């Protein structure tokens, strides 16, 4: 039986461990933290429970296909995807039923249903062109492009908007700046700048508008817990609290890995679910220029607040938009700083599970987009982000939010990097602020070291739960094929 070593127990690594175990491999996973999940974690304090990582759950079927009948994740589709609060004090709820969304958005934003439907169909076309090639297969294998889907994808490249920015396309489609701001927001799903990212990223809004959003019972932490239980059931061997100090190779072939305690482990292949920059550091190899020169994605300041009041006007997901959206992103990506006018995301899982907060209280996960850490004074930036978030939340909700905070904790780029190994604290590895950024991501396999593979948010196809699940699938399929 051949042995596959997996470095890191993030979502992609967990998905790959399940697939590889089912293919008959002996799978051993090494994780420096004390639990599986990577960025998906949780914190409890003073009767409040918080998910501390990704908070949006979409396309659950990618997870369902990994689990047996006895390990299925219990989740439900939420009727309202997100509550939006605009700078002019108007509010709009995005309904999970796409027909209702079109009806309500057409009226609210004063756009014809036909125009909105045309825009949504265009995004669906982008998805149907890109999904079989750019999301479900390796971009770095010739076989991806010589099949029917690959040829179709190449012939249809002009239709996916790779040469125009997201903002340019959205602004040409709609007159209401609020609707433009709504669609521009989806660039943040992979840590990018809407004025720089290609409009191909409008495919993200299609996934949410068309398929809806879901809530897993027990919170987002139940996702890695479910995958971990399934993997253990299949015989995957996990080693927690084990920091990897090197990925070993000899004569152009991977041989195994070494732990901080000095133990060496050998395998027929190694799958790295670590940040791509960290992977190359552990390999003692220079970064490829395309990765070294890639612009890091945005990071975040996350504030976990136990709030001593309930707000009926808020839902599970809430967005409070900045007045000058472009300035916010220019400040992040050009000035590497925080604007005094920020967009604030608030996730409140106690809306779905009352046990996540004491009676008459709410657990607020508050996120402000931030630049990657390149040596700025993070204490100063965090204080700026906190002040700006409290200002906009208090103004829009008509309450002094700071007076309602019963307990508080935070994550910043430094802590994110320390906890998850994400270089610079960037949430998605590199940004998508250029038309070729997707092709510049690390491939799911090494071209120079045989038997070495990659998965996770910093490699192809990218970050976020669905893409990490797909990345684990792509990498495991490559391993299976190479060892047939």
CATH number at residue 286: 3.50.50.60
Name the helix (H) or strand (E) containing 474.
helix 465-482
pLDDT, tens digit (0-9, with 9 covering 90-100), for 48-90: 999 999 999 999 999 999 999 999 999 999 999 999 999 999 9
Judgement on whether residues 361 and 337 belong to the same structural domain of the protein: yes
Is the distance from CB of 328 to CB of 322 less than 8 angstroms? Answer: yes
Q: Which domain holds residue 284?
A: 3-32+241-293+435-482
**Of the candidates 130, 198, 127, which has an alpha carbon nearest to the alpha carbon of residue 161?**
198
pLDDT, tens digit (0-9, with 9 covering 90-100), for 242-266: 999 999 999 999 999 999 999 999 9
Whose structure tokens read 């602020």?
Answer: 433
Q: Kindly report the CA angle at 200 between 194 and 203, in degrees rounded to 5?
A: 95
Listed residues 384, 402, 427: the one ending a domain: 427
pLDDT reported for residue 137: 76
The mean per-residue pLDDT over the stretch 348-353 comes to 98
**Cα 414 off chain centre by:** 18
Judgement on whether residues 148 and 130 belong to the same structural domain of the protein: yes
**Which pair of tokens denotes residue 365?**
């996960």
**Position 235 in a domain:** no
Judgement on whether residues 167 and 145 belong to the same structural domain of the protein: yes
Judgement on whether residues 113 and 90 belong to the same structural domain of the protein: no
3-class DSSP state of 361: coil
Is the distance from CB of 376 to CB of 342 less than 8 angstroms? Answer: no
* Greatest CA separation for the chain: 65
Listed residues 382, 404, 427: the one ending a domain: 427
Q: How many domains does the chain have?
A: 3
Residue 461 preceded by cis peptide, ω within 30 = yes
**Of the candidates 450, 298, 434, which has an alpha carbon nearest to the alpha carbon of residue 374?**
298
**Position 236 in a domain:** no
**Position 20 in a domain:** yes
**Which pair of tokens denotes residue 463?**
């970050």
The mean per-residue pLDDT over the stretch 168-189 comes to 97
């Amino acid at each position: 039986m051949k042995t596959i070593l997996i470095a890191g127990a993030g979502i992609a690594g967990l998905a790959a461990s399940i697939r590889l175990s089912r293919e008959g491999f002996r799978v051993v996973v090494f994780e420096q933290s004390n639990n599986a999940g990577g960025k998906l974690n949780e914190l409890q304090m003073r009767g409040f429970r918080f998910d501390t990582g990704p908070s949006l759950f979409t396309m659950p079927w990618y997870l369902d296909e990994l689990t047996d009948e006895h390990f299925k994740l219990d989740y439900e589709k939420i009727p309202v995807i997100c509550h939006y609060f605009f700078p002019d004090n108007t509010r709009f709820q995005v309904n999970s039923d796409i027909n209702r969304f079109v009806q309500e958005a057409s009226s609210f934003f004063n756009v014809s249903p036909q125009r909105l439907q045309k825009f949504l169909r265009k995004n669906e076309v982008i998805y149907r062109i890109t999904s079989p090639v750019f999301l479900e297969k390796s971009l770095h294998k010739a076989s991806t492009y010589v099949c029917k889907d690959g040829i179709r994808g190449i012939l249809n490249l002009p239709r996916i908007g790779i040469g125009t920015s997201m903002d340019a396309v959205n602004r040409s489609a709609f007159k209401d700046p609020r609707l433009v701001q709504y669609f521009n927001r989806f660039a943040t799903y992979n840590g990018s700048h809407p004025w720089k990212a290609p409009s191909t990223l409008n495919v993200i809004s299609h996934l949410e508008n068309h398929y809806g959003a879901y809530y897993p019972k027990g919170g987002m932490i139940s996702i890695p817990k479910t995958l971990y239980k399934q993997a253990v059931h299949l015989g995957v061997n996990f080693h927690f609290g084990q920091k990897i100090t090197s990925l070993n190779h000899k004569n152009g072939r991977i041989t195994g890995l070494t732990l901080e305690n000095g133990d060496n482990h050998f395998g027929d292949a190694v799958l790295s679910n670590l940040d791509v920059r960290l992977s190359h550091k552990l390999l003692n190899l220079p970064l490829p220029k395309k990765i070294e020169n890639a612009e890091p994605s945005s990071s975040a300041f996350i504030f976990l607040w136990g709030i001593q009041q309930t707000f009926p006007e808020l839902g599970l997901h809430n967005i409070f938009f900045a007045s000058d959206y472009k300035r916010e992103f220019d400040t992040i990506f050009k000035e590497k700083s925080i604007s005094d006018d920020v967009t604030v995301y608030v996730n409140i899982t106690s809306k779905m599970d009352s046990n996540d907060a004491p009676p008459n209280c709410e657990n607020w996960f508050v996120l402000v987009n931030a630049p990657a850490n390149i040596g700025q004074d993070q204490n100063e930036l965090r204080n700026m982000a906190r002040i700006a978030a409290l200002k906009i939340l208090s103004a829009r909700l008509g309450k002094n939010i700071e007076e309602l905070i019963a307990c508080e904790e935070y994550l910043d780029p430094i802590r994110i990097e320390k906890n998850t190994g994400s270089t610079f604290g960037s949430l998605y590895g590199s940004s998508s602020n250029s038309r070729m950024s997707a092709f510049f991501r690390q491939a799911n396999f090494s071209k120079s070291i045989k038997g070495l593979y990659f998965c996770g948010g910093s490699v192809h196809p990218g970050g976020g739960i669905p893409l990490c699940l797909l990345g684990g699938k792509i990498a495991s399929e490559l391993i299976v094929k190479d060892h047939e």
